[in-house]
Amino acid sequence: MPLSKKQFGVLSNGEDVSLYLLESGEFKASWCDYGASWLSFIMPDKHGVKDDVLLGFSTFPPYAAKHPYFGATVGRVANRIAGSKFILDGKEYKLFANDGKNHLHGGRQGLGRSLWHGEMDVIDGDPALRFSLFSADGEEGYPGNLSIAVTIILSRNGELSISYEAESDRRTPLNLTNHAYFNLLGEGAGTIANHELRLHCSHYLPVDSSLIPLPGKPADVAGTAFDFRKPKLMGSDIGQGFSGYDHCFVIDALDVREPFAIVSEKTRGRQLSVSTTSPAVQFYTGNFLDGIIGKGGSVYGKHSGFCLETQYYPDSPNRPDFQSCLVEPGKKWHHGTKYEFSIL
């Protein structure tokens, strides 16, 4: 069965949470309508052994509790907003501070801890899902009644595409991404230090101690630990005072047909290529994972997974020098990201 649905859990208010299973060729993916969350991706290695390459949990209750956004669709504004506020059209909007003084991934609840409406479909012969959600004016402090749709398609060649669409009745910032944690060895099988990464990104955003971008233009990666223009192991520069990556990289050329990132793990022979229409990507090496008990009793310690979160620049609502992430009334907001899994 290429597409199926079953109960996954129950929220405290009695609403059912569903698990959606997609299968195409050698690849299987599962999603959940709570947080429009990507829960698993099962694929073979070069020896034909199949593993789940996404970090997460085996049951629903841990997803309903506090966790590091495993697989969640985060927003309204992903990443951080400095001081938990922004000014739009002369009015200040105050947001919930959930990361020190800053606002992170949509606030107290955000989209990643909301129950979406899920529908199954088949698009051009491939299993597909469509999650939709209405976010009311004033929710989490943001202006505008916002309608959002996320469409997921899994193809036989191992490509999982995510399309984000939104419309609002007022100008409002929006920055959607998926917060999947990958490990091409298989979840729980070790760190990502020996994963080789190539990024078509010539610039990145230096940050302060609270991970807010510093004033000024993006910095050149040349001669720094942030230079992945040629393939380099993720763990090459970690250590000796540098705890890992949690930085926004500027993508050199935007084309959803061409990958800006290629990750290879040669021990098991798996590769992940990512392409997007978004202007940037947050590369995160799981620096804050601290012994979380995951699937089947796996223990996720520091650097157990990596994230490539396609998005606008962090703190964009406060930075007129950054590309605007505003949704304009009457105009559809749209971005797409593709993850292509293959065997070396």
Per-residue pLDDT tens over the stretch 270-302? 999 999 999 999 999 999 999 999 999 999 999
pLDDT at 234: 98
pLDDT at 218: 97
CA nearest neighbour of 311 among 71, 36, 78: 78
Asked about 309 being catalytic, the answer comes back as yes
- 173: CATH: 2.70.98.10
Output the six-digit token pair for 209: 């101690």
pLDDT at 1: 61
CA nearest neighbour of 261 among 312, 196, 164, 217: 196
Average pLDDT for residues 5-13, to the nearest whole number?
96
Q: Which residue out of 179, 195, 303, 335 is catalytically annotated?
A: 179
Asked about 335 being catalytic, the answer comes back as no
List, in order, residues 6 or more apart from 332 with CB less than 8 Å away: 165, 166, 167
Per-residue pLDDT tens over the stretch 227-277? 999 999 999 999 878 899 999 999 998 665 689 999 999 999 999 999 999
pTM value surpassing 0.85: yes
Question: What SS3 string covers the chain?
Answer: CCEEEEEEEECCCCCEEEEEEEEECCEEEEEECECCEEEEEEEECCCCCEEECECCCCCCHHHHCCCCCCCCEECCECCEEHHHEEEECCEEEECCCCECCEEECCCCCCHHHCECEEEEEEECCEEEEEEEEEECCCHHHCCCCEEEEEEEEECCCCEEEEEEEEEECCCEECECEECCCECCCCCCCCCCCCCEEEECCCEECCECCCCCECCCCCEECCCCCCCCCCCEECCCCCECCECCCEEEEECCCCCCCCCCEEEEECCCCEEEEEEECCCEEEEECCCCCCCEECHHHCEECCCCCEEEEEECCCCHHHCCCCCCCEECCCCCEEEEEEEEEEEC
Average of per-residue pLDDT values in the chain: 96
Average pLDDT for residues 17-39, to the nearest whole number?
98
CA nearest neighbour of 282 among 319, 318, 332, 244: 244
Share of the chain above pLDDT 70, in %: 99
Range of the domain at 12: 3-343
List, in order, residues 6 or more apart from 72 with CB less than 8 Å away: 35, 36, 37, 105, 111, 112, 113, 178, 179
Per-residue pLDDT tens over the stretch 57-73? 999 999 999 999 999 99
Q: Which residues pair with 103 in a beta bridge?
A: 81
Per-residue pLDDT tens over the stretch 127-156? 999 999 999 999 999 999 999 999 999 999
Q: How far apart are CA 65 and CA 78, in angstroms?
A: 19
CA nearest neighbour of 42 among 158, 196, 126: 158
Q: Which residue out of 139, 140, 309, 335 is catalytically annotated?
A: 309
Q: How far apart are CA 279 and CA 190, in angstroms?
A: 31
Output the six-digit token pair for 207: 């940050």
Task: Count the domains in the chain.
Answer: 1
Task: Give the end-to-end CA distance of the chain in Å, rounded to a whole number.
Answer: 28
pLDDT at 241: 81
Per-residue pLDDT tens over the stretch 168-203? 999 999 999 999 999 999 999 999 999 999 999 999
Share of the chain above pLDDT 90, in %: 96
